[in-house]
């Protein structure tokens, strides 16, 4: 078990009340799932669907769903949305092994009516107030996706994994139904964000720098809001076995930077030192998730004849 | 899984006899359209060193194309500046190339049609763009998309602070493809290009080598419409980077991951074999669509600096993503 560590991001006093409020708001709306067969993305081994669900707002979100053909139940994988307007449908390799749901949160393509997210701009949209911050709804969108995935009769409830950035951590914390969590540490948005912003000028974190350069008086309010989303404060509720890829010393996914997060998880944490060889890293992480969920690994690095 | 060595692959791409005429007609059509450039400073995104502007210009079919323009402030670095076109990946948003501007480039991050802020009148979606009207070269989605990137060169040429003899282009994945097509279609203006994991090279070979998106869109399309394979093959030949390659005259840098499941390395090698210009190629074993960017980024910076001579070449850009 990982040891607990002091964290530089302060947990808001009303953290639990805030997130309980999100759960209550979500519970007020039925998912009203509309599941439509997608012939184009269906294959001889998996059937694909376009899914629409209601989240808080109310707001209609979208998902790519793929279900293996044959007798289930099957292990399942929830892929939380990336930072950007587009998420690709589940990969061919994953569709052969898992029920897979990729969520498009509010503002992303296929879930961009009536709200179309701006890039850059989404990260700071309403950031002055945690009650109206766009990520409150975005986390709810992911929670709704988790509930929907878990409700499918084809899903083996003991073998559900989740992968993504901060959204995956928050989802695994609020819906403790996952056996395995892969945190995409290289693209975390909220972990120690107010410190991270001083160390990078790369977007999307640069959005916060842009905002505070123009409006320095908002610094305290922004810090208050983003603390609700820092995965370090969600991690204690995570029961899933967790994988943290760890980058170079000094990097924003480096070992010392991630230490507070690694130490905060409630469940077992494994660290994987990334090689920066994309094929090597993919195959190691794929095999890790496959072991957790009881399926075969699907390495993508091929050997040469 | 086993495959032959990537560098031993032979492309199946054939160059249509009227390839050059097809593109000459398109480029003549767009040349007749006034650029109508707009450059609106965005103080929120600007820094003491770099002024950021939102730009717009007219392109093929009368579409208005958006982009970001990042240029060193005169108080930070004196003009003229080399121009640098940063071209986007398939699913990524056009970047604000502030870090390149801090190095001394007048840099444009272009949003070709269908990308956010350029999708009012054309919005095939993602997935979608790769197969949008793929049976007809005259209306295929990439016809205008390629031209929109080329028009960003005209935008740079319209700027008095830009040295017209020092304009480069760089991107990875679809950005690698646009680097190739822009260097070919604007061989008159492009001084060098750096293409990572070049996409849209050997379309049909690539679709046969991978099940990763975006090429999987072609496999899905042909599963539904197998009889259209000849029409698809005929169309994409007019848009294949391998067929654009012989037109490029400037120095090129091409880098690939030898385990890239998104843009198969075989097609990157096929591209390089088709180039007749000075070319450097770097291949990274066990790297995937990252194309070895962890090691390659300093090489990209050095290559561009060697040819474009920015004032603050000792600084570093944000790593390029596709």
Secondary structure (DSSP) of A31-95: ---EEEE-TTT--SSEEEEEEEEEETTTEEEEEEEEEESSS--EEEEEEPPPSSS--PPPPHHHH
Is the CB of residue A197 less than 8 Å from the CB of residue A208?
yes
pLDDT band at A6 (very low <50, low <70, confident <90, very high): very low
Inter-chain residue contact A89 with B98, CB threshold 8 Å? no
Inter-chain residue contact B286 with A301, CB threshold 8 Å? yes
Active site residue B260: yes
In a domain, A202, yes or no: yes
| Residues whose CB falls within 8 Å of the CB of residue A70, separated by 6 or more in sequence, listed in order | none
Our CA-based measurement puts residue B208 at a distance from the nearest CA of chain A, in whole angstroms, of 13
Query: A89 at the B interface (CB within 8 A)?
Result: yes
Residue pLDDT tens, chain B, 322 long: 678 999 999 999 999 999 999 999 999 999 999 999 999 999 999 999 999 999 999 999 999 999 999 999 999 999 999 999 999 999 998 989 999 999 999 999 999 999 999 999 999 999 999 999 999 999 999 999 999 999 999 999 999 999 999 999 999 999 999 999 999 999 999 999 999 999 999 999 999 999 999 999 999 999 999 999 999 999 999 999 999 999 999 999 999 999 999 999 999 999 999 999 999 999 999 999 999 999 999 999 999 999 999 999 999 999 998 8
Residue of B nearest to A248 (CA): B294
B58 forms bridges with which residues in the sheet? B64
B83's enclosing H/E stretch is strand B81-86
**Residues of chain B found within 8 Å of residue A186, distances taken between Cβ atoms:** none
Our CA-based measurement puts residue B20 at a distance from the nearest CA of chain A, in whole angstroms, of 34
Does residue A2 have a pLDDT over 50? no
pLDDT value of position B322: 86
A67's tokens: 């279900």
| Residues whose CB falls within 8 Å of the CB of residue A111, separated by 6 or more in sequence, listed in order | A59, A60, A61, A62, A104, A105, A141
pLDDT band at A305 (very low <50, low <70, confident <90, very high): confident
Q: Report in angstroms the alpha-carbon separations of B192 from A180, A192, A301, B306.
A: 46, 40, 32, 10
The span from the CA of A103 to the CA of A180, in Å, is 18
Does residue A3 have a pLDDT over 90? no
**Residues of chain A found within 8 Å of residue B285, distances taken between Cβ atoms:** 277
Which of B67, B86, B126 has the most A C-beta neighbours within 10 Å, making it the best mutation to test the interface with A?
B126
Query: B259 at the A interface (CB within 8 A)?
Result: yes
**Residues of chain A found within 8 Å of residue B286, distances taken between Cβ atoms:** 275, 277, 279-280, 301
pLDDT value of position B1: 65
pLDDT value of position A105: 98
Residue of B nearest to A212 (CA): B44
In a domain, A3, yes or no: no
Residue of B nearest to A93 (CA): B211
Task: List the 151-210 stretch of B: residues with Cβ below 8 A of A.
Answer: none
The predicted-structure confidence for A261-299, as pLDDT tens digits, reads as follows 999 998 899 999 999 999 999 999 999 999 999 999 999
- Residue closest to B318 by CA, chosen among A253, A202, A198: A202
Inter-chain residue contact B213 with A89, CB threshold 8 Å? yes
Inter-chain residue contact B91 with A88, CB threshold 8 Å? yes
Selecting from A41, A120, A301 the residue whose C-beta is nearest the C-beta of B259 gives: A301
Does residue A4 have a pLDDT over 90? no
Does residue A1 have a pLDDT over 60? no
Inter-chain residue contact B284 with A277, CB threshold 8 Å? yes
Query: A156 at the B interface (CB within 8 A)?
Result: no
In a domain, A282, yes or no: yes
Active site residue B316: no
Inter-chain residue contact A302 with B294, CB threshold 8 Å? no
Residue appearing with tokens 């003491």: B48
Query: B48 at the A interface (CB within 8 A)?
Result: no
Q: CATH no. for residue A168?
A: 3.40.50.1820
Is the CB of residue B146 less than 8 Å from the CB of residue B61?
no
Query: A115 at the B interface (CB within 8 A)?
Result: no
pLDDT value of position A303: 86
> What ipTM was estimated for this complex?
0.96
Residue of B nearest to A42 (CA): B220
Which of B294, B315, B316 has the most A C-beta neighbours within 10 Å, making it the best mutation to test the interface with A?
B294
**Residues of chain B found within 8 Å of residue A40, distances taken between Cβ atoms:** 220-221, 223-224
In a domain, A174, yes or no: yes
**Residues of chain A found within 8 Å of residue B127, distances taken between Cβ atoms:** 88-89
pLDDT value of position A304: 84
The predicted-structure confidence for A48-69, as pLDDT tens digits, reads as follows 999 999 999 999 999 999 999 9
The span from the CA of B162 to the CA of B107, in Å, is 10
Query: B139 at the A interface (CB within 8 A)?
Result: no
**Residues of chain A found within 8 Å of residue B224, distances taken between Cβ atoms:** 39-40
The span from the CA of B200 to the CA of B223, in Å, is 20
Angle A262-A165-A217 from CA coordinates, rounded to 5°:
90
Mean pLDDT, rounded, for A143-158: 98
Which of A275-288 are b and which e, b meaning 16 or more Cβ less than 10 Å from the residue's Cβ? ebbbbbbbbbbbeb
What CATH number has the domain spanning B34-308?
3.40.50.1820
Query: A223 at the B interface (CB within 8 A)?
Result: no
Inter-chain residue contact B116 with A93, CB threshold 8 Å? no
Total of domains in chain A: 1
**Residues of chain B found within 8 Å of residue A305, distances taken between Cβ atoms:** 2-5
Does residue A46 have a pLDDT over 70? yes
The span from the CA of A18 to the CA of B58, in Å, is 47
- Residue closest to A63 by CA, chosen among A77, A76, A74, A53: A53
Q: Report in angstroms the alpha-carbon separations of A11 from A229, A232, A236, B317.
A: 10, 9, 12, 34
Q: Which of B59, B173, B270, B290 is catalytic?
A: B173
Number of A:B CB contacts under 8 A?
Answer: 112
Active site residue B289: yes
Selecting from A40, A280, A299 the residue whose C-beta is nearest the C-beta of B224 gives: A40
Selecting from B92, B224, B291 the residue whose C-beta is nearest the C-beta of A39 gives: B224
The span from the CA of B209 to the CA of B203, in Å, is 10
Mean pLDDT, rounded, for A252-259: 97
| Angle of the B174-185 helix axis to the B141-157 helix axis, nearest 10 | 60
More confident residue, A93 or A267: A93
Our CA-based measurement puts residue B47 at a distance from the nearest CA of chain A, in whole angstroms, of 8
Q: What is the dihedral of CA A134, A136, A141, A147, to 10 degrees?
A: 180
Query: B3 at the A interface (CB within 8 A)?
Result: yes
**Residues of chain B found within 8 Å of residue A91, distances taken between Cβ atoms:** 211-213
pLDDT value of position B129: 97
Which of A40, A127, A273, A279 has the most B C-beta neighbours within 10 Å, making it the best mutation to test the interface with B?
A279
The sign of the CA dihedral B124, B126, B130, B135 is negative
The beta strand positions in A99-178, using DSSP E, are: 99-104, 155-164
Our CA-based measurement puts residue A17 at a distance from the nearest CA of chain B, in whole angstroms, of 34
Does residue A81 have a pLDDT over 80? yes
B194's enclosing H/E stretch is strand B192-196
B80's tokens: 């003229």
pLDDT band at A8 (very low <50, low <70, confident <90, very high): low
Domain that holds residue A142: 15-293
């Amino acid at each position: 078990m990982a040891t607990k560590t002091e964290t530089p991001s302060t947990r808001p006093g009303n953290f639990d009340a805030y997130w309980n409020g999100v759960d209550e708001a979500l519970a007020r709306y039925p998912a009203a799932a509309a599941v439509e067969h997608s012939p184009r993305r269906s294959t001889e081994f998996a059937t694909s669907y376009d899914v629409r669900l209601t989240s808080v707002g109310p707001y209609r979100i979208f998902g790519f769903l793929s279900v293996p053909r044959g007798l289930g139940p099957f292990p399942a994988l929830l892929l939380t949305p990336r930072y950007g307007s587009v998420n690709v449908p589940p990969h061919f390799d994953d569709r052969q092994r898992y029920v897979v749901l990729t969520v498009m949160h509010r503002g992303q393509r296929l879930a961009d009516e009536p709200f179309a997210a701006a890039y850059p701009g989404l990260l700071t949209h309403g950031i002055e107030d945690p009650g109206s911050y766009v990520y409150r709804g975005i986390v709810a969108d992911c929670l709704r996706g988790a509930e929907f995935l878990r409700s499918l009769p084809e899903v083996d409830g003991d073998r559900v994994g989740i992968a993504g950035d901060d959204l995956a951590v928050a989802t695994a914390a609020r819906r403790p139904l996952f056996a395995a969590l892969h945190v995409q540490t290289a693209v975390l948005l909220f972990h120690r964000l107010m410190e991270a912003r001083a160390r990078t000028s790369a977007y999307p974190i640069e959005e916060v720098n842009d905002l505070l350069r123009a409006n320095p008086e908002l610094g305290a309010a922004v810090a208050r809001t983003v603390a609700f989303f820092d995965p370090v404060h969600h991690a204690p509720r995570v029961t899933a076995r967790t994988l943290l890829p760890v980058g170079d010393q000094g990097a924003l996914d480096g070992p010392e930077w991630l230490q507070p997060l690694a130490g905060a998880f409630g469940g077992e944490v494994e660290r994987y030192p990334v090689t920066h060889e994309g094929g090597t890293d993919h195959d190691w992480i794929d095999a890790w998730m496959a072991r957790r969920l009881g399926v075969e690994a699907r390495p993508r690095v091929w050997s040469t004849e | 899984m086993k495959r032959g060595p990537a560098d031993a692959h032979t492309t199946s791409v054939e160059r249509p006899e009227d390839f050059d005429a097809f593109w000459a007609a398109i480029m003549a059509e767009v040349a007749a359209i006034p650029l109508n450039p707009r450059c609106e400073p965005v103080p929120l995104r600007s820094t003491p060193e770099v002024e950021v502007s939102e730009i717009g210009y007219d392109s093929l079919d009368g579409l208005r194309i958006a982009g970001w323009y990042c240029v060193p402030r005169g108080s930070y670095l004196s003009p003229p500046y080399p121009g640098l076109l940063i071209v986007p990946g398939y699913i990524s948003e056009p970047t604000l190339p502030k870090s390149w501007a801090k190095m001394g480039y007048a840099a444009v991050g272009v949003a070709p049609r269908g990308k956010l802020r350029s999708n009012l009148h054309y919005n095939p979606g993602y997935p979608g763009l790769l197969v949008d009207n793929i049976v007809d070269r005259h209306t295929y989605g990439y016809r205008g998309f390629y031209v929109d990137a080329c028009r960003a060169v005209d935008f740079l040429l319209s700027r008095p602070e830009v040295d017209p003899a020092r304009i480069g282009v760089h991107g990875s994945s679809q950005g690698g493809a646009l680097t190739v097509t822009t260097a070919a279609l604007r061989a008159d203006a492009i001084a060098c290009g750096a293409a990572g994991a070049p996409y849209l090279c050997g379309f049909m070979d690539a679709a046969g080598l991978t099940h990763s998106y975006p090429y999987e869109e072609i496999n899905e399309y042909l599963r539904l419409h197998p009889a259209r394979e000849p029409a698809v093959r005929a169309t994409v030949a007019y848009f294949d980077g391998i067929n654009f390659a012989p037109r490029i005259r400037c120095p090129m840098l091409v880098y690939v991951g030898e385990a890239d499941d998104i843009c198969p390395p075989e097609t990157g090698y096929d591209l390089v074999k088709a180039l007749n210009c000075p070319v450097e190629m770097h291949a990274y074993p066990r790297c995937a669509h990252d194309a070895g960017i962890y090691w390659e980024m300093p090489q990209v910076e050095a290559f561009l600096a060697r040819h474009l001579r920015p004032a603050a070449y000792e600084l570093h850009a944000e790593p390029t993503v596709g």
